[in-house]
Structure 1
Amino acid sequence: MDDRSHDGDMTTTQATPPHVTSEFSVVDPSTGETIATVPDGGPAEATAAVDSASTAARAWARTPARTRSELLHRAFELMLRDREELAALITKENGKSPADARAEVTYAAEFFRWYGEEAVRTDGAYGPSPAGGARTVVTRRPVGIAALVTPWNFPAAMPTRKIGPALAAGCTVVLKPAAETPLTALAIARLLTEAGVPDGVVNLVTTTDASAVVTTWLEDPRVRKISFTGSTGVGQILLRQAADRVVNASMELGGNAPFVVTADADLDAAVDGAMIAKFRGGGQVCTAANRFYVHATIAEDFLARLGKRVEALRVGASGEIGPLISAKAVSGVTKLVESALAAGARVVARAEIPSDGKGYFFAPVVLADVPADADIVREEIFGPVAPVLTWRDEDELLELVNASEMGLAAYVYAGNLQDALRLGEAIDAGMVGINRGLLSDPSAPFGGLKQSGLGREGAREGLHEFTEIQYLSVDWPTA
Structure 2
Amino acid sequence: MYINGKWIEKGIGEVVVKNPATGEVVGTVPKLGKEQIEEAINAADEAFKTWSQLPAIQRSNYLYRVAEIMRERKEDLARIGTLEMGKSLIDMRGEVQAAIDYVQWYAEEGRRVYGETIPSNAANKRVSVLKQPIGVVGAITPWNFPVSMITRKIAPAIAVGCTVVVKPASQSPLSAKLIFEIFEQAEIPAGVVNLIQGDAGLVSQTLLQSPKVKKLSFTGSTEVGKKLIAGSADTVTKLSLELGGHAPYIVFEDANIDLAVDSLVAGKFRCAGQTCVCMNRVYVHESIVEEFSNKLVEKVAQLKVGNGLDPNTSVGPLVDMKGVQKSEEHVQDAVSKGAKVLVGGKRPTAPELANGSFYEPTVLGGVNESMLISYEETFGPVAPIITFKSEEEVVEKANNTPYGLAAYFYTNDISRSHRVSEQLQFGIVGVNDSLPIHAAVPFGGIKESGYGKEGGHHGMKEYLIEKLVSVRIGD
Give the TM-score band, short-chain normalised. Answer: over 0.9
1:290 aligns with 280
**Counterpart secondary structure, 1:258:** strand
2:38 aligns with 47
Contact 1:169 1:463 in 2 (8 A): yes
Q: Which runs of 5+ in 2 are unaligned?
A: none
Say if 2:421 is the partner of 1:415: no
Whole-Å separation in 1 of the counterparts to 2:466 and 2:204 = 26
**Counterpart secondary structure, 1:198:** coil
1:254 aligns with 244
Whole-Å separation in 2 of the counterparts to 1:348 and 1:157 = 34
Say if 2:419 is the partner of 1:429: no
Please show how residues 238-317 of structure 1 align to structure 2 within 5 Å.
Answer: 238-317=228-307
Please show how residues 7-156 of structure 1 align to structure 2 within 5 Å.
Answer: 10-15=1-6, 19-156=10-147
Residue 325 of structure 1 deviates from its aligned partner by: 0.4
Residue 42 of structure 1 deviates from its aligned partner by: 2.1
Say if 2:200 is the partner of 1:210: yes
Residue 132 of structure 1 deviates from its aligned partner by: 3.5
Whole-Å separation in 2 of the counterparts to 1:322 and 1:347 = 21
**Counterpart secondary structure, 1:244:** coil
2:445 aligns with 448
**Counterpart secondary structure, 1:58:** helix
2:365 aligns with 368
Contact 1:114 1:442 in 2 (8 A): yes
Amino acid aligned to 1:429: F
Whole-Å separation in 1 of the counterparts to 2:472 and 2:51 = 30
Residue 89 of structure 1 deviates from its aligned partner by: 0.5
Task: State which drifts further: 151-160 or 354-363.
Answer: 354-363
Whole-Å separation in 1 of the counterparts to 2:9 and 2:67 = 31
Structure 1's 41 and 354: CA in aligned 2 closer, same or farther, altered over 3 A? farther
**Correspondent of 1:353 among 323, 339, 348:** 348
Residue 167 of structure 1 deviates from its aligned partner by: 0.4
**Counterpart secondary structure, 2:255:** coil
Whole-Å separation in 1 of the counterparts to 2:127 and 2:277 = 42
Whole-Å separation in 2 of the counterparts to 1:189 and 1:418 = 48
1:402 aligns with 399
Contact 2:319 2:357 in 1 (8 A): yes
Whole-Å separation in 1 of the counterparts to 2:349 and 2:305 = 7
Whole-Å separation in 1 of the counterparts to 2:4 and 2:23 = 32
Contact 2:3 2:40 in 1 (8 A): no
Contact 1:173 1:203 in 2 (8 A): yes
**Correspondent of 2:459 among 453, 457, 462:** 462
Residue 175 of structure 1 deviates from its aligned partner by: 0.4
**Correspondent of 1:382 among 375, 379, 383:** 379
Whole-Å separation in 2 of the counterparts to 1:118 and 1:414 = 35
Whole-Å separation in 2 of the counterparts to 1:131 and 1:387 = 63
Amino acid aligned to 2:453: R
Residue 418 of structure 1 deviates from its aligned partner by: 2.6
Whole-Å separation in 1 of the counterparts to 2:7 and 2:210 = 20
Contact 1:455 1:465 in 2 (8 A): yes
**Correspondent of 1:170 among 150, 161, 173:** 161
Whole-Å separation in 1 of the counterparts to 2:80 and 2:3 = 18
Amino acid aligned to 1:111: Y
Residue 440 of structure 1 deviates from its aligned partner by: 1.5
Whole-Å separation in 2 of the counterparts to 1:16 and 1:293 = 50
1:326 aligns with 320
**Counterpart secondary structure, 1:37:** strand
Amino acid aligned to 1:46: I
User: Normalised by the size of structure 2, how large is the TM-score?
Assistant: 0.96
User: Normalised by the size of structure 1, how large is the TM-score?
Assistant: 0.95
Whole-Å separation in 2 of the counterparts to 1:270 and 1:131 = 59
Q: Which runs of 5+ in 1 are unaligned?
A: 1-9
Number of residue pairs matched? 468
Amino acid aligned to 2:120: S
Whole-Å separation in 2 of the counterparts to 1:337 and 1:420 = 32
**Counterpart secondary structure, 1:245:** coil
RMSD in angstroms over aligned alpha carbons?
Answer: 1.4
**Counterpart secondary structure, 2:121:** coil
Whole-Å separation in 1 of the counterparts to 2:97 and 2:7 = 31
Say if 2:299 is the partner of 1:341: no
Amino acid aligned to 2:358: F
Contact 1:151 1:229 in 2 (8 A): yes
1:236 aligns with 226
Say if 2:193 is the partner of 1:196: no
Contact 1:83 1:102 in 2 (8 A): yes
Residue 128 of structure 1 deviates from its aligned partner by: 2.7
Contact 1:104 1:156 in 2 (8 A): yes
**Counterpart secondary structure, 1:250:** strand
